Amino acid sequence: MIRNPILPGFNPDPSICRMDDEYFIATSTFEWFPGVQIHRSKDLVNWDLACRPLDRASQLDMRGNPDSGGIWAPCLSYSDNRFWLVYTDVKRLDGNFKDAHNYLVTSPMIGGPWSDPVHLSSHGFDPSLFHDDDGRKWYLVLQWNHVSSSVGGKPRTSAFDGILLQEWSETEGLIGEPETIFSGSSLGLTEGPHLYKRNGWYYLTVAEGGTGYNHAVTMARSRSIKGPYELHPDTHLITAKDVLDWPLQRAGHGQIVETPDGGVYHTHLCSRPLPGRFSPLGRETAIQKCVWRDDWLYLENGGPLPQVEVPGLNAAVARPPQKTERIFVGNELPPEFQWPRTPHPERLFTLTGSELRLTGRESIGSWYEQSLVARRQEHITYRVETTLSGFKPDTYQQAAGLTTYYNRHKFHLLAVSRTEELGRCLMLMSCPGNWPDGNMEFPAAHIAIEDGPVDLAVEVTGAQQQFFWRQKADWSPFGPELDASVISDEGGRGEHASFTGAFVGMIAFDTTGCGKTAEFQRFSYAPEGT
């Protein structure tokens, strides 16, 4: 059996494709660099990170992008002996406008080299590329309507202004004028288009209802690629919007894939909220077994509810959760780590051969240069430990430590810093979703510590977390138990633009501009039971 989610933690908007007997899923990475995560599998059960293809400035530069901007809903496909990836870089997401630029890169192999991008359009977001069986290629994208409000007393219209279709070729680029082929069902907020062809029918799946608890996969079909498209008899292929206590919530936005023997599956994003509807793991990737009936696709189990367990391809067994121990030796960052926005990581960190050295840049709330190296939270309960082996702050404007982090408004940070009264000290900084002001709180008194290495740890259990520290002694808690539900999609008051997931990692900042460095020797991530 396949147990969902197959990609736990922040892995939304799954686009799936197959090459021979291997499957690949691309997911959104938003403001985290490098851009786009691509996982691979041969059994649909166990998945490994294959690459993050947008890894240089010529492909992606997100400095200045807002929280939850950046890479939205990539589409991955395989045709003509190469991989094709289209993606959006969202530069603005609040107010009436979405400044969303869509690009295409290609590669002969999943691991690269990936090409420099070709700009496609900026109509909206969630681009898709469909390879028809006659050799023609078609570009789909949501059109965004910034004039989506009452004008002259007329009723308000939706900003989600339909799915556009336009032919594309390598020699000519986009051909002709874009045409609106689908405006969605009555659920609305129609986005995330993907096309699939079978038995002379074009099947269009879209995401609807917004990416919250009304989310859904909606299906329609047509004999012509340009429509008109008729809705599925049930309208929604996958959704949990009508069952509030279902284990997989917010189900929607995915893609069809066919197995070599003609079986069919559909990926989708989902979340596993804690009581009170908080999703620290963000939007995760799941997959459902499907069947064809009367030239319509249905979930194999019947009805639209996504299942936690679905039939797999073979007798593959899921790998159990494992503790990850990282000692920073060599010159490559371990693959689970990312950093925000900038394509110039050499200004943020270096690997010395025995340590990870962070160079303090702008504050923990910066949209430009933030020396934060972090990994996804993938389990409801976990413990992280790290050793801050070298850091000698000269002022309270310099700090380095361990953080649980969602965005600039939602984080907890245990840091080594300095005050005039105490000298070198530990301090606890917290921003519990204070949007839009972003003001921090200091939940515990600072304490003086000696020079030399300091071990820092955090334990997260559902909606609670506790920091710990030690220096030549046993572990001791630092500060009170904190609200971990803040570090979630819905946490605090910043939920209007919360599309990512919880991270945990190492940070250094130096708001003097002097670039004070901090060295970390190790980082361990231990899920419950490991």
Choose among 456, 508, 458, 465: nearest CA to 486.
465
Q: Are residues 78 and 116 in the same domain?
A: yes
Q: Is residue 451 part of a domain?
A: yes
Q: How many folded domains does the chain comprise?
A: 2
Max Cα–Cα distance, the chain, nearest Å: 76
Q: How far apart are CA 264 and CA 87, in angstroms?
A: 25
Q: How far apart are CA 311 and CA 149, in angstroms?
A: 46
pTM (predicted TM-score):
0.96
Q: Are residues 100 and 38 in the same domain?
A: yes
CATH code of the domain in which 467 resides: 2.60.120.200
Q: How far apart are CA 179 and CA 521, in angstroms?
A: 55
Contact 207, 160 (CB under 8 A): no
- Pick the last residue of a domain from 247, 275, 310: 310
Q: Is residue 179 part of a domain?
A: yes
The residues pairing with 467 across neighbouring beta strands, listed in sequence order, are 458, 478
DSSP code per residue over 99-166 = EEEEEEEEESSTTSPPPPPEEEE-S-S--EEEE-TTS-EEEEEEEE-TT-S--TTPPPPPSEEEEEEE
DSSP letter, residue 333: -
Q: Are residues 284 and 373 in the same domain?
A: no
Residue by residue, pLDDT tens for the chain (530 residues) are: 999 999 999 999 999 999 999 999 999 999 999 999 999 999 999 999 999 999 999 999 999 999 999 999 999 999 999 999 999 999 998 888 999 999 999 999 999 999 999 999 999 999 999 999 999 999 999 999 998 765 666 665 689 999 999 999 999 999 999 999 999 999 999 999 999 999 999 999 999 999 999 999 999 999 999 999 999 999 999 999 999 999 999 999 999 999 999 999 999 999 999 998 999 999 999 999 999 999 999 999 999 999 999 999 988 899 999 999 999 998 999 999 999 999 999 999 999 999 999 999 999 989 999 999 999 999 999 999 999 999 999 999 999 999 999 999 899 999 999 999 999 999 999 998 876 677 899 999 999 999 999 999 999 999 999 999 999 889 999 999 999 999 999 987 644 557 999 999 999 999 999 999 999 999 999 999 88
One-letter amino acid for residue 370 of the chain: Q
Choose the catalytic residue: 31, 208, 355, 369.
Answer: 369
H-helix or E-strand spanning residue 89: strand 82-92
- Pairing outcome for strands 464-470 and 454-461: antiparallel
Residue 258 is a catalytic residue? no
Phi–psi pair at 325, nearest 5 degrees? -110, 120
CATH code of the domain in which 227 resides: 2.115.10.20
54: left (phi over 0), alpha (psi -120 to 50) or beta: beta
Q: Are residues 397 and 488 in the same domain?
A: yes
Q: How far apart are CA 91 and CA 201, in angstroms?
A: 36
Q: How far apart are CA 507 and CA 390, in angstroms?
A: 13
Question: What is the signed CA dihedral for 412, 418, 422, 423, rounded to 10 degrees?
Answer: 150
Q: Please give the residue range of the domain that contains residue 110.
A: 2-310
Q: Are residues 294 and 425 in the same domain?
A: no
- Pick the last residue of a domain from 310, 336, 359: 310
Give me 529's structure tokens.
């039971």
Q: Is residue 317 part of a domain?
A: no
